[in-house]
Structure 1
């Protein structure tokens, strides 16, 4: 991969993870912002906090990129000083503070980013009381995946502690974005030729997942959901499965949710999607950016397989799919999309024919020769879904089912706490999960047909699964919760019976 300098800006392709968000941005102009509200309880040195944010901008190129609109290229721009906005609400009443915070959220958090205009970071420091501040941090999903947010949390706390101690803040030896992308592209290029045949075989016979109309409510487009707590016996059972069948936790949850979705929808040969935060390249664990890879996991025969056979199937498939994690996400999604299209529109034929030319014109992006064809097929499938929904009803929209493990669930808690320990005499830093002001409803459309299962260790609720969506009824939420708990309850009861019988 050749790195070029254009107007004092480094010109590099996008990561595989960024590519999916770039595609969504082209269609919707939505950036799926992360909102990180950090509460500082105690005496705060505001000048040190501003230095910390500027250090983050200096050390992490992804926060300084400008993204091309027509081609999957980003430009790493020179660092410019960031002035932290400051708002003093400490003399306001509680109700006035809540109103003002809602207005600040609409100003800083709600608007989508213009990916052509860095920095890809917004912030505002709000004084709520003499010894209490709230730092509002906002980044687009294009710049941060879950592992990057975890790393941001570590660096923010560590850098602030260093600033108080008068230590240098700049980090040396951090993997550059260009170096990561260069290594990722080498891996991708070695598999590109065989990727399509691999995915055609993997996805053969897989059916799209549709929910019954009685379980759908598309009139309410606000993001909503339910939390399913995991008890200690349930966690012990999952751990026992991991040990007995040599599985990762991710594989266990894929099998569990495949069972649940199959029971709820009747689909016995379905595809779940899992997000692998792709950080197997040396130094990538500390790198900011969307490095995730979206991996479709096809699962078959859910009506007949006992759990031991299901676990074996999920393990075999996940390991096979994982070998192709550096190949573009658009390859399998276009195959799934093709299965929805009954009559190919003329413009899809034109864009398919033009795909090779587009590849030649945008060689610096590292896109595959079939990228434009893939993008067009995915868009055509979405249009087909929308047409069917208008004619026949919401039950005709195929659902994407994501099963995502967040770092809070699998990171060793004792190491995490030790890394983030701060001097108690300064101030306590807390990433707030429950705010004192109401947030406006999230009506973004980029995941309107997606059902997300986030496996996490919630700061307040503990370990569990956060179900997030924009299309289900409350009855459907309860049904998913009951089916999940029911599957585990049956297995726990069987385990107790075997233990009592000495089996």
Structure 2
């Protein structure tokens, strides 16, 4: 990998995870922002919060990157001091306060980032009462996802407590972004040819997943959904399955959700997408950045198939998929996209011929030779699907089914508790998911055909599955929830016997 210093900036190829967001950004200019509203209860010093934000910018290169507009390259820029905006709404009544918070959300959080212009972070500290503040923190998906958000949560709270105690905020040197990318690209190169062959074989028999038109609503693109809580007995059963069949929790939920979606849609050859966090590289555990790799997991669910058989199938497929996870998201997704095409359009054939030329011109980006073609194939699949929807109706929108395990589900310990001070002036910092003001509807086309299942521990509702989407009717939400509970209820009574006899 060729690393250059250009105008006091370090030029680095994108990570596998960043490539997907870079591609979407080129097409839509959408950055799928993470809105992180931190509530500070207690005495707050705005100058310390500003110091914390600046420490995060100094220690995390990804927040200081500028992204090339035509080539998959990012430049690590020098640190520049960040002045934290401060708004005092404490004198307003609740209704006026809510309206003002909505306006601030639009100003700081709703707008897409310009990835060319760092920092890839926005923040505003809002005073709501004498001892209550809200820190509006926002970052694009390109800069952070998965465990990185959990790491940010830990560091922000720890750093504020250190600042309050007069301690130094600078951390030990983190793994350089260039070093991470170099190791990731080495892993990609080692399996590049076999990976494409593997994915072509894995995905050759899958079929698009569709819902009945009565269950689809694509006229409303606002993000919505429901939470499906899990009882302790159900969690215990899932734990027994994991122990008996040597499964991860992710595998269990893939099997259960795959079974539900197959029953609802009638598709016995469906494909679910999950993610693998590429943090097995030494030093990557505390690194910020987009490091999730989307991995399609094909499933064949036969009539009369037992849950035990499905578990073993999902386990075998998932382990095989993980063997070839060090690939850009676009390789397996382009294979899926090409299966949607009745015939190859002329312009896609042209992209296939010129992809190698683009690879040569952008050699510093470290892209694989067919990258441009794969991006074009994904676009062609989307165009073909849009034509079918316009011609034949919403029931012809193929669904992407994402199943994501969030750290809150399996991380039982609160790492920040060890750093909390017992002083009377201590400030309790909480990442709020339930807001006191209604954020404006999200009408983006970021995931317009995706059904997202987030396995998490909700701050209020406990353990469960959060279903998020932009394309389902309330009837479809209720149906999916009922089918999931029916499946669990069906196996709860016989679960112990099945596990013991397996």
Partner of 1:327: 327
Tell me the residue number matched to 2:435.
435
The answer for the alignment partner of 2:477 in structure 1 is 477
- Over 3 Å counting, the alpha-carbon distance change for 1:314 and 1:128 in structure 2 is same
Deviation at 1:329, TM superposition (A): 1.3
Q: 3-state DSSP class of the match of 1:286?
A: coil
- Aligned-residue offset at 1:420: 5.5
Q: Mean Cα displacement is larger for which, 246-255 or 418-427?
A: 418-427
Q: Equivalences for 1:390-401 in 2 at 5 Å?
A: 390-401=390-401
Counterpart of 2:466 in structure 1 is 466
CA distance in 1, matches of 2:501, 2:272: 36
Which structure 2 residues correspond to residues 203-352 of structure 1 after superposition, within 5 A?
Answer: 203-352=203-352
Determine the structure 1 residue equivalent to 2:181: 181
Deviations 1:128-159 (A, max 9, x none): 11111110000000011121110001000111
CA contact (8 A) 1:433 1:460 kept: no
Q: Which residue of 1 aligns with 2:379?
A: 379
What secondary structure, in the 3-state scheme, does the structure 1 residue paired with 2:31 have? coil
Question: How many angstroms apart in 1 are the aligned matches of 2:501 and 2:346?
Answer: 66
1:30-429 alignment, distance < 5 Å: 30-411=30-411, 413-419=412-418, 421-423=420-422, 425=424, 426-429=426-429
* Residues 154 and 420 in structure 1, CA contact (< 8 A), matched pair in contact too: no
Secondary structure (helix, strand or coil) at the match of 2:10 reads strand
Once residues 103 and 420 of structure 1 are traced to their aligned partners in structure 2, the CA distance between those partners, rounded to angstroms, is: 34
Post-superposition CA distance 1:255-293 (Å, at most 9, x none)? 001100000000001110001121111111100010000
Unmatched runs of 5 consecutive residues or more in structure 2: none
Determine the structure 2 residue equivalent to 1:2: 2
Q: Deviations over 1:335-357 (max 9, x none)?
A: 11111111222111111110000
Using the TM superposition, give the Cα deviation of residue 173 of structure 1 relative to its aligned residue in structure 2, in angstroms: 2.7
- Paired with 1:148 and 1:495, the residues of 2 have a C-alpha distance of 36
**Alignment deviations for residues 382-420 of structure 1 (CA, whole Å, 9 cap, x no partner):** 000000000000111111000000011111x22535356
Separation of aligned partners in 1, 2:421 and 2:367: 44
Aligned twin of 2:487: 487
DSSP 3-state at the match of 2:383 = helix
Matches of 2:486 and 2:269, distance apart in 1: 21
Paired residues of 1:213 and 1:393 also in contact (CA < 8 A): yes
1:435 to partner: Cα distance:
1.3
Q: Could you report, residue by residue, the CA deviation over 1:109-137 in whole angstroms, capped at 9, with x for unpaired residues?
A: 00000000000000000011111111000
What RMSD, in angstroms, separates the aligned Cα atoms of the two structures? 1.5
Q: SS of the counterpart of 2:90?
A: coil
Q: Deviations 1:150-170 (Å, cap 9, x if unpaired)?
A: 000100011111111111111
Q: Secondary structure at the match of 1:24?
A: helix
Q: Contact 1:268–1:302 (CA<8 Å) still a contact in 2?
A: yes
| Number of aligned positions between the proteins | 501
TM-score by length of 1: 0.97
SS in 2 for 1:78: coil
In 1, the alpha carbon distance for the partners of 2:245 and 2:326 equals: 27
Shift of 1:427: 1.2
Whole-angstrom distance in 1 between the partners of 2:27 and 2:271 = 24
For 2:418 and 2:483, the matched residues in 1 are separated by 38
Output the CA distance in 1 between the equivalents of 2:311 and 2:194: 27
Q: 2: distance between equivalents of 1:380 and 1:483?
A: 34
CA contact (8 A) 2:158 2:416 kept: no
Residue 424 of structure 1: CA displacement?
A: 5.2
Partners in 1 of 2:419 and 2:454 — Cα distance? 23
Q: Aligned residue for 2:451? A: 451
Q: Aligned pair in 2 of structure 1 residues 420, 248: CA closer, same or farther (>3 Å)?
A: farther
Shift in Å, 1:497:
6.8
Check whether the contact 2:161–2:420 (CA below 8 A) recurs between aligned residues: no
Structure 1 runs, 4 residues or longer, greater than 4 Å off: 496-499
Determine helix, strand or coil for the equivalent of 1:103: helix
Asked if the contact 1:275–1:404 (Cα under 8 Å) also holds between the matched residues in 2, the reply is: yes
Gaps of 5+ in 1: none
Q: Structure 1 CA distance, aligned partners of 2:196 and 2:177?
A: 27
Can you list the C-alpha shifts for 1:440-478, whole angstroms capped at 9, x where unaligned?
A: 111110100000000000111111000000000000000
**Residue 422 of structure 1 contacts residue 428 of structure 1 at CA under 8 Å; is this kept in 2?**
no
Give the Cα–Cα distance (whole angstroms) in 2 for the partners of residues 305 and 496 of structure 1. 18
Asked whether the equivalents of residues 154 and 416 of structure 2 are also in contact (C-alpha less than 8 Å), the reply is no
* Partner in structure 2 of residue 13 of structure 1: 13
Cα gap change, 1:231 to 1:83, in 2 (>3 Å): same
Cα distance in 2, alignment partners of residues 444 and 40 from structure 1: 30
Give SS of 1:276's match. strand
| Contact 2:157–2:416 (CA under 8 A) maintained in structure 1 | no
**What's the CA shift for 1:366?**
1.1
**Which SS does the other structure have where 2:285 is aligned?**
helix
For 1:347-371, what per-residue CA distance to the aligned partner results, in whole angstroms no more than 9, with x for missing partners? 1111111000000011111111000
Following the alignment from structure 2 to structure 1, what is the Cα–Cα distance between the partners of residues 144 and 420? Answer: 23
